[in-house]
């Protein structure tokens, strides 16, 4: 037994190294005084200082946050409605709609990006932050819907009936009983959506126009002109923020289940 345990432990340790070693190196070198990233020449915060002084970069951050917040709100409202109608109101062709809704999760993102771009060109909507936001809302909707629906599926439908029986209209029953119980999943889904929006490159690449550079696009253009330790610093921040958001999202989704 002991041997088996040790073996399993070292295997998972190897997994962690495999996953996080590159990120750890990246973070470490964001504090490296050397301009050439390959060797360690002492500790510095100067790359972080350069980062916050970069006006173009801050504009990209601002764009990313704007797109993230608005696309998340849209995806959350639509995703929750989709989840509720799929779970609670049976209708003809439900399975087809369900499949169609989840398809964006599995089709290659490049296709999604190209398709969105062609669509916007077709309806003559100039590529801008608006089109980026719509694009992000589109791929985030199914993510929110899946997360919320999983929670809704575990919710006893009799709770809604009880509310109705006690005098609540369908809307009041949703507002006072279903939504509060779904809240962990709604917030978890929204955070997940926000994180994915913040990190997205491909769909953004195809749907962005002049002046609508988001953070990942900015990083990409910076890398093209050579990897500077500033990129390391930026990436370190992005990774930490994303991990925090995802961690929070998972914690929220797990919350109420722990109570049962």
Partner 1 sequence: MADYSVEIQDVVKYHSATLAVDHLSLEVRPGEFFSLLGPSGSGKTSTLRLLAGFERPDHGDIRIEGRSMRDVPPNLRPANLVFQTYALFPHLTVFDNIAFGLEMRRLSRAEIDPRVSAALDMMKLRGKRDRLPAQLSGGEQQRVALARALVNRPAGLLLDEPLGALDQQLRQDMQVELKAIQEQVGITFICVTHHQEEALTMSDRVAVMNHGRALQVGTPQEIYEAPASAFVANFIGVSNGLTGRIVTITGARCTVSLPDLPTGPTILARRPAGAVEGSRVTVLLRPERLHLSQDVHLNGFENALPARVSKAIYNGNEMQYLLRLSDSVSWKARVPNSGGDRKRFLPGEVIFVRWNADEGVVLTE
Q: In the chain, helix, strand, coil percent, each to 5?
A: 80, 0, 20
In contact, 215 and 97? CB cutoff 8 Å = no
- Minimum gap (Å) between residue 160 Cβ and partner 1: 9
- Work out whether 161 is an interface residue with partner 1 (CB under 8 A): yes
Q: Which is nearer to partner 1, 53 or 156 (CB)?
A: 156
Q: Distance (Å, rounded) from C-alpha 246 to C-alpha 241? A: 9
Q: Distance (Å, rounded) from C-alpha 31 to C-alpha 56? A: 22
Binding part of the chain for partner 1, among 67-75, 120-128, 164-172, 199-207 by CB under 8 A, reads 164-172
Which residue among 21, 172, 243, 244 contacts partner 1 (CB under 8 A)? Answer: 172
- CA 189 from chain center: how many Å? 9
Binding to partner 1 in span 181-210, by CB under 8 A = 181
- Work out whether 158 is an interface residue with partner 1 (CB under 8 A): yes
Q: Distance (Å, rounded) from C-alpha 91 to C-alpha 9? A: 49
In contact, 216 and 57? CB cutoff 8 Å = no
- Work out whether 152 is an interface residue with partner 1 (CB under 8 A): no
Binding part of the chain for partner 1, among 24-32, 135-143, 172-180, 241-249 by CB under 8 A, reads 172-180
Q: Which is nearer to partner 1, 39 or 259 (CB)?
A: 259
Q: Which is nearer to partner 1, 49 or 176 (CB)?
A: 176
Binding part of the chain for partner 1, among 52-60, 143-151, 169-177, 229-237 by CB under 8 A, reads 169-177
Q: Distance (Å, rounded) from C-alpha 49 to C-alpha 127? A: 33
Structure tokens at 236: 């370190």
Please give the residue ranges that form the binding site for partner 1 (CB under 8 A): 156, 158-159, 161-169, 172, 176-177, 180-181, 259-260
């Amino acid at each position: 037994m002991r041997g088996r345990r040790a073996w399993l432990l070292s295997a998972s340790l190897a997994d962690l190294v495999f996953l996080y070693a590159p990120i750890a190196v990246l973070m470490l070198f964001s504090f490296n005084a050397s301009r050439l990233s390959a060797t360690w020449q002492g500790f510095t915060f100067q790359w972080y200082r350069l980062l916050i002084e970069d006006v173009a970069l801050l504009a990209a951050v601002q764009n990313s946050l704007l797109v993230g917040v608005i696309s998340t709100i849209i995806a959350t409202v639509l995703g929750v409605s989709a989840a509720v109608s799929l779970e609670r109101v049976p209708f003809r062709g439900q399975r087809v709609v369900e499949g169609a809704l989840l398809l964006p999760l599995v089709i290659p993102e490049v296709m999604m990006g190209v398709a969105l771009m062609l669509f916007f060109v077709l309806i003559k909507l100039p590529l801008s932050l608006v089109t980026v936001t719509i694009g992000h809302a589109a791929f985030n909707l199914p993510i929110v819907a899946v997360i919320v629906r999983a929670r809704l599926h575990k919710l006893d439908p009799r709770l809604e009936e009880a509310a109705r029986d006690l005098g609540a209209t369908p809307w009041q029953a949703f507002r006072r009983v279903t939504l509060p119980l779904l809240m962990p999943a709604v917030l978890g889904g929204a955070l997940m959506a926000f994180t994915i929006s913040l990190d997205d490159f491909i769909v953004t690449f195809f749907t962005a126009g002049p002046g609508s550079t988001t953070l990942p696009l900015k990083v990409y253009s910076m890398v093209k002109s050579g990897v500077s330790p500033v990129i390391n610093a930026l990436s370190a921040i992005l990774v930490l923020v994303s991990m925090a958001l995802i961690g929070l999202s998972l914690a929220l989704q797990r919350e109420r289940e722990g109570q049962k």
